[in-house]
């Protein structure tokens, strides 16, 4: 949906805003005025805003006029055919609602359509991951993803031949590793226990006569040796308990009651054929190696499945990063990453208002002084990105930013956007009242 005209009626006056099909910049208005205009705009799209009229072009190209007179029935008219089509937009309550097919209420719509400076500078974890993957050489990234996926397919094939699952090989290997660690810990503890027993016995034998002949003070070193031996034995017993718990966790993950039970129920059948066993474990080893390479490249929190599912987003973000950096000299001075971050966040907000709901409705995005607080040197490439993005999507930019205004004045000359600035109109009695401001 594209809004072509917004007409506001209040106290016997009306203000009309003719909006550009791509980008309209409304400048020179303060925060209170912006809040009011956003409320009127969002309310006009919903069901309960009288005194606000719209001319819109639907996604299929149909021009519509929405009349919301105060105290009278609201209507929607197909301008081209001159036909009342209100029933197609009437909600369950009987009100005209242009958002009826999107599943959005007024609060959700306002949150979705409005993008503030804070929204631009606060990225979600999803955006951060997309941006991080976009910063990696795309050929290297997708080569590693394909290798990892190929290794996973090889593991599944080997498991299928063995009549098992890929997880069985991993589980068997994990259990064997934990069991080996347990045996090693038990052996260490047994050696330390024997040594501790010997040291404690020797210390006791030496401490008793020495304390009787020389006093308790002289016997203290023997007591200290005995205490150290006991503590050491306790420490190694703690390692045994830790190894037991680790093996128990691995067995529980495999659904086995014990190490012996695992071998009886699963491992013996899995490893009955030595050649099948060897192929399966080799496939598991290759799979583990490719995953290690992938995690070293992208980090442990991103799986190949997730990256493949979001491949289009990652590639789009990578192209965006290249375009923004190439169009700006800032990329060479260390500002490229910051520009890419803002550009990705802006692109995400633009994408969020496209193809909404079952009707796949596209709504205009409202930028509420979104570039406030951004380094002026970073704004030109972001504004250029915004200009390109609005070729297929409408944006309403409300701002009090002189940098944006100066850029908009030049772009308006070329017809790439519409610039609406407040003009002071004299009051009928200028000596007794201040000037009023209209948007024209």
Cβ atoms of 142 and 299 closer than 8 Å: no
Distance of CA 376 to the CA centre of its chain: 27
| Ranges of the chain with pLDDT below 70 | 11-12, 123-124, 162-176, 179, 196-230, 250-275, 277, 324-336, 423-440
Cβ atoms of 398 and 364 closer than 8 Å: no
Distance of CA 273 to the CA centre of its chain: 46
> Considering the entire predicted model, what is its pTM?
0.62
Angle between helices 166-214 and 274-298 (to 10 degrees): 80
* pLDDT for the residue numbered 94: 82
State both tokens at 198. Answer: 């010997």
Q: What DSSP state is assigned to residue 264?
A: I
What percentage of the chain's residues is helix, strand, coil (to nearest 5)? 60, 15, 25
Determine which helix (DSSP H) or strand (DSSP E) holds 25, and give its type and residue range: strand 23-27
Distance, CA of 393 to CA of 389 (rounded, Å):
7
* pLDDT for the residue numbered 134: 86
Specify which residues 420 forms β-bridges with.
26
* pLDDT for the residue numbered 361: 83
Cβ atoms of 430 and 7 closer than 8 Å: no
Instruction: Report the CATH fold assignment for 2-136+308-439.
Output: Rossmann fold (3.40.50)
* pLDDT for the residue numbered 436: 39
Helix (H, G, I), strand (E, B) or coil at 394: coil
Distance of CA 284 to the CA centre of its chain: 31
* pLDDT for the residue numbered 262: 55
Residues written for the chain: 440
Of 237, 236, 210, nearest to 222 by C-alpha is: 210
* pLDDT for the residue numbered 432: 37
Report the sign of the C-alpha dihedral through residues 118, 364, 403, 380, in that order.
positive
* pLDDT for the residue numbered 373: 86
Residue spans of the domains in the chain: they are 2-136+308-439, 138-307
> pLDDT per residue over 119-130, tens digit each?
887 766 778 888
Helix (H, G, I), strand (E, B) or coil at 135: coil
Angle between helices 311-326 and 379-389 (to 10 degrees): 130
* pLDDT for the residue numbered 279: 76
Report the sign of the C-alpha dihedral through residues 124, 346, 309, 325, in that order.
negative
Helix (H, G, I), strand (E, B) or coil at 233: helix
> CA–CA distance from 35 to each of 40, 67, 112, 114, 369 (Å)?
9, 23, 15, 10, 11
> pLDDT per residue over 397-424, tens digit each?
999 999 999 999 999 998 889 999 876 5
């Amino acid at each position: 949906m594209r809004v072509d005209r917004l007409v506001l009626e209040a106290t016997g006056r009306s203000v009309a805003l003719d909006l550009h099909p791509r980008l309209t910049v409304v400048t020179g208005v303060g925060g209170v005025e912006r809040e009011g205009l956003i409320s009127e705009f969002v309310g006009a799209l919903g069901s309960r805003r009288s005194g606000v009229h719209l001319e819109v072009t639907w996604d299929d190209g149909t021009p519509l006029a929405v009349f919301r007179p105060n105290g009278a029935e609201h209507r929607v008219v197909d301008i081209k055919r001159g036909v009342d089509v209100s029933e197609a937009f009437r909600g369950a309550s009987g009100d005209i609602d242009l958002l009826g097919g999107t599943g959005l209420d007024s609060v959700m719509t306002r949150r979705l359509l409005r993008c503030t400076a804070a929204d631009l500078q606060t990225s979600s974890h999803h955006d951060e991951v997309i941006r991080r993957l976009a910063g990696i050489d795309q050929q290297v990234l997708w080569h590693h993803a394909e290798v990892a996926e190929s290794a996973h397919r090889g593991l599944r094939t080997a498991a299928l031949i063995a009549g098992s699952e890929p997880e069985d090989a991993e589980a068997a290997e994990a259990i064997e590793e934990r069991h080996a660690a347990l045996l090693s810990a038990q052996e260490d503890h047994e050696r330390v226990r024997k040594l501790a027993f010997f040291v404690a016995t020797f210390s006791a034998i030496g401490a008793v006569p020495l304390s009787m002949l020389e006093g308790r003070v002289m016997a203290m070193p023997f007591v200290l040796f005995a205490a150290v031996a006991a503590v050491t034995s306790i420490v190694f017993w703690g390692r045994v308990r830790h190894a037991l718990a680790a093996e128990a966790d691995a067995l529980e993950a495999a659904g086995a009651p014990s190490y012996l039970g695992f071998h009886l129920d699963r491992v013996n059948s899995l490893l009955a054929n030595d050649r099948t066993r060897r192929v399966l474990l080799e496939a598991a080893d290759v799979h583990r190696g490719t995953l290690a390479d992938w995690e070293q490249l992208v980090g442990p929190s991103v799986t190949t499945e997730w990256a493949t599912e979001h491949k289009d987003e990652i590639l789009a973000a990578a192209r965006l990063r290249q375009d923004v950096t190439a169009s700006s000299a800032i990329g060479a001075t260390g500002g490229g990453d910051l520009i890419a971050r803002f550009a990705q966040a802006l692109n995400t907000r633009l994408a969020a208002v496209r193809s909404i709901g079952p009707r796949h409705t596209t709504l205009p995005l409202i930028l509420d002084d979104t570039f406030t607080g951004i380094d002026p040197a970073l704004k030109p490439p972001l504004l250029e990105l915004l200009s390109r993005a609005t070729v297929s999507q409408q944006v309403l930019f409300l701002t009090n930013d002189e940098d944006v205004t100066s850029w908009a004045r030049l772009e308006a000359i070329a017809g790439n956007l519409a610039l609406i600035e407040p003009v002071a109109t004299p009051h009928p009695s200028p000596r007794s009242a201040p000037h009023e401001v209209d948007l024209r």
